[in-house]
Amino acid sequence: MTTTTDTHCPYCSLQCGMRLRTGGDPAAAGAAEAPAEVLERPGFPVNRGALCSKGRSAPALLAPGARLTGPLLRDRPGGPLRSAGWAEALDRVAAGLAEVRERHGADAVGVFGGGGLTNEKAYQLGKFARVVLRTANIDYNGRFCMSSAAAAHRRAFGLDRGLPFPLADIPHTGCLILVGGNPAETMPPALRYFRELRENGGTLIVVDPRRTRTAAEADLHLQPRPGGDLALALGLLHLVIADGRVDEEFVAARTTGFDRARAAAMAHWPDRVERITGVPVSRLRAAAELFGRAETGMVLTARGPEQQSKGTDTVGAWIDLCLATGKAGRPYSGYGCLTGQGNGQGGREHGQKADQLPGYRSIEDPAARAHVAGVWGVDPAELPGAGRSAYELLDGLGRPGGARALLLTGSNPVVSAPNAAHVTARLRGLDLLVVADPVLSETARLADVVLPVTQWAEEDGTTTNLEGRVILRRRALDPPEGVRSELWVLRELAARLGVEKGFPDAAEEVFDELRRASAGGDADYSGISYRRIAAEDGVFWPCPDDAHPGTPRLFLDRFATPDGRARFAGVTHRPAGEEPDRDYPLHLTTGRVLAQYQSGAQTRRVPELNAAAPGPFVELHPRLAARLAVAEGDLVAVTSRRGRAVAPARITDAIRPDTVFMPFHWPGAGRANTLTNPALDPVSRMPEFKLCAVRVERAHET
Ligand code: SF4
165/308 same-domain check = yes
The CA 53 to ligand 1 mean position distance, Å, reads 8
Q: Among the three residues 318, 337, 356, which one is the final residue of a domain in this structure?
A: 337
Average pLDDT, the chain: 96
363/246 same-domain check = no
Rg (CA), the chain: 24
The CA 50 to ligand 1 mean position distance, Å, reads 9
Helix (H, G, I), strand (E, B) or coil at 309: coil
Instruction: Tell me what pLDDT residue 66 has.
Output: 78
606 in any annotated domain: yes
Q: Are 121 and 358 in contact (CB under 8 A)?
A: no
The CA 52 to ligand 1 mean position distance, Å, reads 6
d(CA 207, CA 306): 13
CATH number at residue 91: 3.40.50.740
Residues 6+ apart with CB under 8 A from 286: 220
Mean pLDDT value of segment 633-637 = 98
Instruction: Count how many residues are written for the chain.
Output: 702
**Alpha-carbon distances of 630 from 94, 291, 522, 590, rounded to whole Å:** 54, 40, 53, 20
Ligand 1 pocket member 236 (CB < 6 A): no
62/118 same-domain check = no
Instruction: Tell me what pLDDT residue 48 has.
Output: 95
Q: Are 373 and 538 in contact (CB under 8 A)?
A: no
The CA 186 to ligand 1 mean position distance, Å, reads 8
151/285 same-domain check = yes
Task: Determine the residue of 11, 18, 53, 609 to mutate for testing ligand 1's pocket, defined as the one with the most ligand atoms within 8 A of the Cβ atom.
Answer: 11
pLDDT in tens, 177-198: 999 999 999 999 999 999 999 9
The CA 438 to ligand 1 mean position distance, Å, reads 19
State which ligand 1 atom lies nearest to the alpha carbon of 14.
7
State which ligand 1 atom lies nearest to the alpha carbon of 10.
1
Taking CA atoms only, the protein residue closest to ligand 1 atom 3 is 52
- Report residue 73: phi and psi, to 5°: -130, 150
d(CA 588, CA 82): 40
Instruction: Tell me what pLDDT residue 535 has.
Output: 94
Long-range CB pairs of 201-205, under 8 A, 24+ apart, other chains included? 202/171, 202/172, 202/173, 202/174, 202/175, 202/176, 202/294, 203/174, 203/175, 203/176, 203/290, 203/294, 204/175, 204/176, 204/178, 205/175, 205/176, 205/177, 205/178, 205/287, 205/290, 205/291
312/176 same-domain check = yes
529 in any annotated domain: no
Ligand 1 pocket member 55 (CB < 6 A): yes
The conformational region for residue 257 under phi > 0 = left, psi -120 to 50 = alpha, else beta, is left
pLDDT in tens, 385-431: 999 999 999 999 999 999 999 999 999 999 999 999 999 999 999 99
Task: Determine the residue of 54, 213, 343, 466 to mutate for testing ligand 1's pocket, defined as the one with the most ligand atoms within 8 A of the Cβ atom.
Answer: 54
pTM here is 0.96
pLDDT in tens, 230-268: 999 999 999 999 999 999 999 999 999 999 999 999 999
692/623 same-domain check = yes
Ligand 1 pocket member 8 (CB < 6 A): no
d(CA 269, CA 22): 61
DSSP states of 580-625 = --SSS-EEEEEE--TT--TT-TTGGG-HHHHHHS-S--EEE-HHHH
Query: What's the DSSP call for residue 211?
Result: -
**Total H helices, total E strands in the chain:** 22, 30
494/427 same-domain check = yes
CATH number at residue 162: 3.40.228.10
pLDDT in tens, 115-129: 999 999 999 999 999
Ligand 1 pocket member 699 (CB < 6 A): no
332/208 same-domain check = yes
Ligand 1 pocket member 52 (CB < 6 A): yes
The CA 380 to ligand 1 mean position distance, Å, reads 40
The CA 27 to ligand 1 mean position distance, Å, reads 23
Ligand 1 pocket member 11 (CB < 6 A): yes
Ligand 1 pocket member 16 (CB < 6 A): yes
pLDDT in tens, 33-55: 788 999 999 999 999 999 999 99
E strands in 333-403? 334-337, 356-357, 361-362
Taking CA atoms only, the protein residue closest to ligand 1 atom 4 is 16
517 in any annotated domain: no
Cα dihedral 46, 47, 52, 56 sign: positive
Q: How confident is the model at residue 702 (pLDDT cuts 50, 70, 90)?
A: low
DSSP states of 42-72 = TT-TTTTT---HHHHTGGGGGSGGGS--S-E
In terms of Cα–Cα distance, which of 17, 13, 129, 126 is closest to 510? Answer: 126
Q: What is the distance between the terminal CA atoms of the chain, rounded to a whole angstrom?
A: 51
Instruction: Tell me what pLDDT residue 146 has.
Output: 87
State which ligand 1 atom lies nearest to the alpha carbon of 15.
7
Mean pLDDT value of segment 370-384 = 96
pLDDT in tens, 340-360: 888 989 998 999 999 999 999
Helix (H, G, I), strand (E, B) or coil at 684: coil
Query: Does position 571 have pLDDT exceeding 60, yes or no?
Result: yes
d(CA 434, CA 444): 8
Q: How confident is the model at residue 102 (pLDDT cuts 50, 70, 90)?
A: very high
The CA 51 to ligand 1 mean position distance, Å, reads 6
Strands of the sheet containing 405-409, edge to edge, are 81-83, 72-74, 449-452, 432-437, 405-409, 109-113, 138-140
375 in any annotated domain: yes
Q: How confident is the model at residue 284 (pLDDT cuts 50, 70, 90)?
A: very high
d(CA 502, CA 500): 7
Q: What share of the chain is helix, strand, coil (3-state, %, to 5)?
A: 35, 20, 45
Mean pLDDT value of segment 15-20 = 96
229/181 same-domain check = yes
Greater pLDDT, 566 or 29 = 566
CATH number at residue 594: 2.40.40.20
In terms of Cα–Cα distance, which of 397, 363, 400 is closest to 382? Answer: 363
Work out the number of other CB atoms within 10 angstroms of the CB of residue 159. Answer: 17
542 in any annotated domain: no
d(CA 402, CA 393): 7
The CA 635 to ligand 1 mean position distance, Å, reads 32
Ligand 1 pocket member 466 (CB < 6 A): no
158/137 same-domain check = no
157 in any annotated domain: yes
d(CA 548, CA 560): 18
Query: Does position 29 have pLDDT exceeding 60, yes or no?
Result: no
Helix (H, G, I), strand (E, B) or coil at 374: helix
State which ligand 1 atom lies nearest to the alpha carbon of 188.
5
509 in any annotated domain: no
Instruction: Tell me what pLDDT residue 609 has.
Output: 96
Rounded to an integer, what is the distance from CA 104 to the centroid of its chain? 32
The CA 145 to ligand 1 mean position distance, Å, reads 17
211/327 same-domain check = yes
Instruction: Tell me what pLDDT residue 65 has.
Output: 84
The CA 182 to ligand 1 mean position distance, Å, reads 13
The CA 599 to ligand 1 mean position distance, Å, reads 16
Taking CA atoms only, the protein residue closest to ligand 1 atom 2 is 12
Mean pLDDT value of segment 570-580 = 96
The CA 512 to ligand 1 mean position distance, Å, reads 27
688 in any annotated domain: yes
CATH number at residue 34: 2.20.25
Residue type, 324: A
Total domains, the chain: 4
Ligand 1 pocket member 344 (CB < 6 A): no
Instruction: Tell me what pLDDT residue 32 has.
Output: 52
d(CA 377, CA 517): 11
Q: Which domain holds residue 162?
A: 147-337
pLDDT in tens, 537-553: 999 999 999 999 999 99
Rounded to an integer, what is the distance from CA 579 to the centroid of its chain? 25
Query: Does position 31 have pLDDT exceeding 50, yes or no?
Result: no
Ligand 1 pocket member 12 (CB < 6 A): yes
38/83 same-domain check = no
H/E run at residue 17: strand 17-22
Query: Does position 81 have pLDDT exceeding 50, yes or no?
Result: yes
Query: Does position 26 have pLDDT exceeding 60, yes or no?
Result: no
